[in-house]
């Protein structure tokens, strides 16, 4: 049943199977079936795809990055152009991160203190200050349906004291975000930090649930640690997150990561992997990862994936896609990104169906025996 | 009335208005309304557009370049992958040039003799020989509906002797192409050379019509001469080309070029201008040429062209398109190419309707007073 929140954001848990959950998020711009994968539109564009192509992949919600949009075109201009949904012509549910992750991972010219972070724009050298309050203000101007608290995300491995300080700051900043939050129809998610230290994560989660958020995210994972460590952590921790709120694992991941995280009880994901790998000519298929530049695909009239019904697989051969990559034509990255996103959405649909039909454990076992269980985050 | 040719290629003249012609070409892959503009898919891809997006612009026929496909992926591979229509998923009518123009305009390592041209591949250094016979063989493998005779195309201005020799060779090579032509359902067009010398063009045309082709093209124009010289030449010459065959002006041009050429009796055009300019952020609109990188478009929530109903103008603002170009996102070139191609197709539709309704002279006068009459071939 949709919760009777005063604002239209709501999360409905439709079914559980073990710890895996099948649910639905309501937003002002439409519904999102969970577990959900969110394609990443870094600079308000999922690279190389029109909004119509993105919809055809089966995506229901997309993400945009506050850090990048803050630099260009700037929140004032996004607001003047009608907000992210109008700007991108996506029109469906959207989520923005807080900018924190990029400040800590991309910007070498940052200075962090207890009040926030200061960094220099690599575009024009401007000095920019990001605080919990400004992160809320900027995300309010961008206008996504789901916005994220401003947090500190240290790369792993990190020393205990560094992780502890990040947790302390993230809790303090989350409280300030909650207080600065002004738009009732924008759902605000808190972000749990704490590295792989379950005790620290529990303390962080307890503090955040006391403040109260519309959803809870796990930050600071898939940032350098071996995947099995993340899977083990998720198994131990994800199910402790509030049952009645969406659980969002940020920046993850490979198909195997998604399956293990759903198995542990996660509802939402975002990752650049399907589009970044697509631009390099790496395709996720039911038969494993395909590297289109390999000579074996020369003259191959078959589709990328015979099990796929996406626009790319319906219309274009491996041999043609390989040609596009060899001659460096823009259509190659677009077509393989379309396929990879459709592949990810099909994976999520399969998991949602398996959970709803109480056969997720068997589905997962079958996946683990298949070729995709070995796909890595980095292809070379 | 469709001509009762033994093969399915046919040209039907539906209406004339002055020298302007409204017609229809029948090909094995469908009909083409003339005057027709053919987008250029150099390497078997109209840069950045899927076949579906290309169809949505209103295009009925596209062109691919034999020279580029000869280098990569090679005619054997195109044939193995089902020919150009299957390869590109375009499925509609297609035309290939002979490779001659690119050998003469792109390749500095060429040697031409009376038998053909030899050049070195810039990809792998391979020595490649192109003759009338091999140009026919390659285009047969590529499988377009309309193929072009192999000709010599000297850049203008050129000395009289150079142009004369090119005419002599082009006639001789056209005869050899006709003799080497094997596939009855591929229409073969002859190419009239002769620079801006009407007498020489007449001699060339007379020789070609004696050989007999399914259509006649004007080559060697828009290769450096001032546009008014080309327009004056077309006024004097185009109407002398056979009435019962399509007349194709190769590699042209600006909106004004198309209007003047249609006025002179031309039926078919191809040009990279809408896509090349689109990739640079120059849009053809009913209000004139728009340079999206100009600061005036920052924050502009209006469409590229309020008179346009293309995918780009229906969904995306000038301010967003400018953002995409400023941050160098691939979606910008794709969306503006879509718009420019839709703009060109609308221009052709308007001309076809004006001819059919016997009001082309008035339509042209109105065009000449509008902002698009001044659009140049090169934008800076």
Domain boundary among A225, A241, A272: A272
Do B94 and B235 reside in the same domain of the chain? Answer: yes
3-state helix, strand, coil in chain B (%, to 5): 45, 20, 40
Average pLDDT over residues B134-162: 92
Residue B1 makes CB contacts below 8 A (sequence gap 6+) with B12
Q: What is the pLDDT of residue A7?
A: 55
Residue B291, CA distances (Å) to A73, A123, B336, B370 in order: 18, 22, 11, 18
H/E segment holding residue B337 = helix B331-356
Distance in Å, alpha carbon of A100 to nearest chain B alpha carbon:
21
Whether chain B has a CB inside 8 Å of the CB on A301: the answer is yes
Q: Is residue B3 part of a domain?
A: no
More confident residue, B122 or A36: A36
Q: What is the pLDDT of residue B264?
A: 98
Question: Using 50, 70 and 90 to split pLDDT, how confident is the model at B295?
Answer: very high
Which residue on chain A is closest to B298 by alpha carbon? A77
Average pLDDT of chain A to the nearest whole number: 95
- For A278-309, what is each residue's pLDDT tens digit? 999 999 999 999 999 999 999 999 999 999 99
- For A322-336, what is each residue's pLDDT tens digit? 999 999 999 999 999
Do B301 and B223 reside in the same domain of the chain? Answer: no
Percentage of residues of chain B with pLDDT beyond 90: 88
Largest CA distance in chain B: 60
C-alpha A275 chain-centroid distance = 12
Tell me the C-alpha distance between A2 and A12, whole Å.
Answer: 5
| Other C-beta atoms lying within 10 Å of the C-beta of residue A157 | 12
Tell me the C-alpha distance between B81 and B64, whole Å.
Answer: 16
- For B299-343, what is each residue's pLDDT tens digit? 999 999 999 999 999 999 999 999 999 999 999 999 999 999 999
DSSP state letters, A172-213: HHHHHHHHH---TTSEEEEEE--TT-HHHHHHHHHHHHHH--
Residue A136, CA distances (Å) to A46, A80, A149, A170 in order: 23, 17, 8, 14
Q: Between B311, B315, B324, which is nearest A45 by CB?
A: B324
Do B27 and B126 reside in the same domain of the chain? Answer: yes
Average pLDDT over residues B266-275: 98
Active-site residue B305, yes or no? no
Question: Closest Cα partner for B341 from B268, B283, B296?
Answer: B283
H/E segment holding residue A108 = none
Extract the runs of DSSP E, i.e. beta strands, from chain B.
10-17, 20-27, 30-34, 36-38, 62-64, 94-96, 111-113, 116-120, 127-130, 146-148, 187-192, 215-218, 247-249, 268-270, 282-285, 288-291
Whether chain B has a CB inside 8 Å of the CB on A333: the answer is yes
Phi–psi pair at A28, nearest 5 degrees: -60, -25
Residues forming a β-bridge with A111: A118
Whether chain A has a CB inside 8 Å of the CB on B80: the answer is yes
Do A144 and A261 reside in the same domain of the chain? Answer: yes
Q: Which of B3-12, B101-110, B344-353 tops mean pLDDT?
A: B344-353
**Contact yes or no for B73 and A298 at CB 8 A:** yes
Tell me the C-alpha distance between B34 and B29, whole Å.
Answer: 16
Q: Between A80, A301, A329, which is nearest B43 by CB?
A: A329
Q: What is the pLDDT of residue B4?
A: 47
Q: What is the pLDDT of residue A350?
A: 98
A·B CB contacts under 8 A: 118
Do A151 and A95 reside in the same domain of the chain? Answer: yes
Task: Check B97, B145, B267, B305 and give the catalytic one.
Answer: B97
Q: Between A47, A52, A77, which is nearest B330 by CB?
A: A47
Q: Is residue A122 part of a domain?
A: yes
Which residue on chain A is closest to B51 by alpha carbon? A315
Do B217 and B127 reside in the same domain of the chain? Answer: yes
Question: Using 50, 70 and 90 to split pLDDT, how confident is the model at B44?
Answer: very high
- CATH code, domain with A136: 3.20.20.105
Q: Is residue A264 part of a domain?
A: yes
Angle between helices A331-356 and A318-326 (to 10 degrees): 130
Q: Is residue B134 part of a domain?
A: yes
**Contact yes or no for A77 and B330 at CB 8 A:** no
Is residue A350 within 8 A of residue A363, CB to CB? The reply is yes
Average pLDDT over residues A2-24: 84
DSSP state letters, B274-297: HHHHHHTTEEEETTEEEETTSGGG
Return residues 23-62 of A near B (CB < 8 Å). Answer: 43-45, 47-53
**Contact yes or no for B73 and A48 at CB 8 A:** no
- For B13-22, what is each residue's pLDDT tens digit? 999 999 999 9
Domain boundary among A251, A272, A293: A272
Domain boundary among A244, A272, A300: A272
Q: Is residue B106 part of a domain?
A: yes
Average pLDDT over residues B359-371: 97
Where b means 16+ CB within 10 Å and e means fewer, A224-257 reads ebebeebbebbeebbbebeeebbbbbbbbbbbbb
Whether chain A has a CB inside 8 Å of the CB on B311: the answer is yes
Q: Is residue B370 part of a domain?
A: no
Number of domains in chain B: 2
Q: What is the pLDDT of residue B1?
A: 41
DSSP state letters, A44-106: SS-TT--HHHHHHTT---EEE-HHHHHHTT-HHHHHHTT-HHHHHT--S-EEE--SHHHHHHH
Question: Closest Cα partner for B17 from B346, B366, B367, B263?
Answer: B263
Mutate to test the interface with B, among A40, A42, A49, A50 (most CBs of B within 10 A): A50
- The radius of gyration computed from the CA coordinates of chain B, to the nearest angstrom, equals 20
- For B176-202, what is each residue's pLDDT tens digit? 999 999 999 999 999 999 999 999 999
Q: What is the pLDDT of residue A378?
A: 66
Contacts of B44 in chain A (CB under 8 A): 320, 323
Contacts of B301 in chain A (CB under 8 A): 80-82, 86
Q: B7 pLDDT exceeds 70?
A: no
Q: State the residue for tokens 């293990």.
A: A260
Percentage of residues of chain A with pLDDT beyond 90: 88
Altogether, the residues listed in chain A come to a count of 380
| Other C-beta atoms lying within 10 Å of the C-beta of residue B296 | 11
**Contact yes or no for B89 and A316 at CB 8 A:** yes
Tell me the C-alpha distance between A186 and B182, whole Å.
Answer: 67
- For A88-137, what is each residue's pLDDT tens digit? 999 999 999 999 888 888 777 789 999 999 999 989 999 999 999 999 99
Do A196 and A73 reside in the same domain of the chain? Answer: yes
Q: State the residue for tokens 């659009």.
A: B375
Q: What is the pLDDT of residue B379?
A: 56
H/E segment holding residue B145 = none
| Other C-beta atoms lying within 10 Å of the C-beta of residue B376 | 12
Which residue on chain B is closest to A319 by alpha carbon? B81
**Contact yes or no for A334 and B330 at CB 8 A:** yes
Whether chain B has a CB inside 8 Å of the CB on A79: the answer is no
Do B77 and B55 reside in the same domain of the chain? Answer: yes
Tell me the C-alpha distance between A30 and A61, whole Å.
Answer: 9
Tell me the C-alpha distance between A125 and A192, whole Å.
Answer: 32
Q: Is residue A22 part of a domain?
A: yes
Q: What is the pLDDT of residue B104?
A: 83
Question: Closest Cα partner for B190 from B203, B209, B163?
Answer: B209
Q: Is residue A4 part of a domain?
A: no
* Complex confidence, ipTM: 0.96
Do B122 and B243 reside in the same domain of the chain? Answer: yes
**Contact yes or no for B335 and A47 at CB 8 A:** no
Q: What is the pLDDT of residue A110?
A: 87
Tell me the C-alpha distance between A84 and B116, whole Å.
Answer: 57
Is residue B339 within 8 A of residue B312, CB to CB? The reply is yes
B242 is in which domain, residue-wise?
Answer: 10-271
H helices of A225-306, where?
227-237, 255-264, 273-279
Question: Using 50, 70 and 90 to split pLDDT, how confident is the model at A3?
Answer: very low
Average pLDDT over residues B261-266: 98
Q: Between B81, B298, B324, which is nearest A317 by CB?
A: B81
Is residue A204 within 8 A of residue A191, CB to CB? The reply is no
Pairing of strands A30-34, A111-113: unpaired
Q: What is the pLDDT of residue A150?
A: 97
Whether chain B has a CB inside 8 Å of the CB on A329: the answer is yes
Do A247 and A286 reside in the same domain of the chain? Answer: no
Q: B380 pLDDT exceeds 50?
A: no
Where b means 16+ CB within 10 Å and e means fewer, B85-111 reads bbbbbbebbbbbbbbbbbbbeebeeee
Tell me the C-alpha distance between B72 and B75, whole Å.
Answer: 8
| Other C-beta atoms lying within 10 Å of the C-beta of residue B378 | 8
**Contact yes or no for A315 and B49 at CB 8 A:** no
Whether chain A has a CB inside 8 Å of the CB on B303: the answer is no
Q: What is the pLDDT of residue B103?
A: 87
Do B171 and B299 reside in the same domain of the chain? Answer: no
Tell me the C-alpha distance between B253 and B38, whole Å.
Answer: 11
Which residue on chain A is closest to B123 by alpha carbon? A327
- What is the C-alpha end-to-end distance of chain A, expressed in Å? 46
Half-sphere exposure of B15 (CA within 13 A, CB side): 14
Q: What is the pLDDT of residue B158?
A: 82
Average pLDDT over residues B153-179: 91
Active-site residue B115, yes or no? no
Whether chain B has a CB inside 8 Å of the CB on A323: the answer is yes
**Contact yes or no for B50 and A298 at CB 8 A:** no
- DSSP tag of B353: H
Q: What is the pLDDT of residue B57?
A: 98
**Contact yes or no for B319 and A77 at CB 8 A:** yes
Do A210 and A338 reside in the same domain of the chain? Answer: no
Angle between helices B198-211 and B227-237 (to 10 degrees): 50
Q: B6 pLDDT exceeds 60?
A: no
- For B73-127, what is each residue's pLDDT tens digit? 999 999 999 999 999 999 999 999 999 888 888 777 789 999 999 999 989 999 9
Q: Between A48, A77, A89, which is nearest B316 by CB?
A: A89
Q: B8 pLDDT exceeds 90?
A: no
Work out the angle at residue B329's Cα, subtended by the Cα atoms of residues B325 and B330, and round it to the nearest 5 degrees: 105
Q: Between A44, A73, A81, which is nearest B301 by CB?
A: A81
Question: Using 50, 70 and 90 to split pLDDT, how confident is the model at A377?
Answer: confident
Question: Closest Cα partner for A262 from A298, A228, A231?
Answer: A231
CB-neighbour burial class of residue A67 (10 A; exposed 0-12, middle 13-18, buried 19+)? buried
């Amino acid at each position: 049943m949709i919760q009777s929140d005063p604002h239209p954001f709501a999360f409905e848990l439709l079914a559980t199977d073990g710890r895996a959950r099948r649910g639905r998020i309501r937003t002002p711009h439409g519904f999102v079936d969970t577990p959900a994968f969110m394609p990443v539109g870094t600079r308000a564009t999922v690279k190389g795809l029109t909004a119509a192509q993105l919809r055809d992949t089966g995506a229901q919600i997309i993400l945009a990055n506050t850090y990048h949009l803050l630099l260009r075109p700037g929140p004032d201009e996004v607001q003047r152009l009608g907000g992210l949904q109008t700007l991108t012509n996506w029109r469906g549910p959207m989520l923005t991160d807080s900018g924190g992750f990029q400040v800590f991972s991309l910007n070498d010219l940052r200075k962090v203190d207890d009040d926030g972070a200061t960094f220099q724009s690599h575009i024009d050298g401007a000095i920019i200050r990001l605080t919990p309050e400004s992160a809320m203000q900027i995300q309010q101007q961008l206008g996504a349906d789901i916005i994220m608290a401003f947090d500190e995300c240290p790369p792993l491995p990190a020393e205990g004291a560094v992780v502890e300080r990040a947790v302390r700051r993230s809790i303090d900043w989350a409280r300030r975000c909650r207080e600065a939050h002004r738009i009732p129809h924008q759902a605000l998610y808190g972000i749990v930090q704490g590295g792989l230290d379950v005790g620290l994560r529990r303390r962080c989660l307890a503090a955040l649930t006391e403040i109260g958020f519309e959803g809870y995210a796990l930050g600071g994972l898939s940032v350098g640690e071996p995947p099995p460590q993340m899977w083990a952590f998720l198994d131990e921790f994800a199910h402790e997150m509030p049952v009645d709120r969406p659980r969002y694992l940020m920046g993850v991941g490979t198909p195997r990561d998604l399956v293990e995280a759903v198995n542990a009880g996660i509802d939402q994901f975002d990752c650049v992997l399907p589009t970044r790998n697509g631009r390099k000519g790496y395709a996720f298929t039911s038969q494993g990862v395909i590297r289109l530049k390999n000579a074996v695909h020369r003259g191959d009239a078959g589709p990328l994936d015979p099990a796929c019904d996406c626009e790319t697989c319906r219309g274009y051969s491996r041999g043609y896609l390989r040609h596009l990559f060899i001659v460096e034509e823009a259509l190659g990255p677009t077509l393989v990104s379309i396929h990879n996103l459709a592949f990810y959405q099909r994976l999520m649909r399969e998991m949602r169906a398996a959970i709803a039909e109480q056969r997720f454990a068997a589905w997962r076992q079958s996946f683990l025996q298949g070729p995709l269980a070995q796909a890595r985050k980095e292809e070379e």
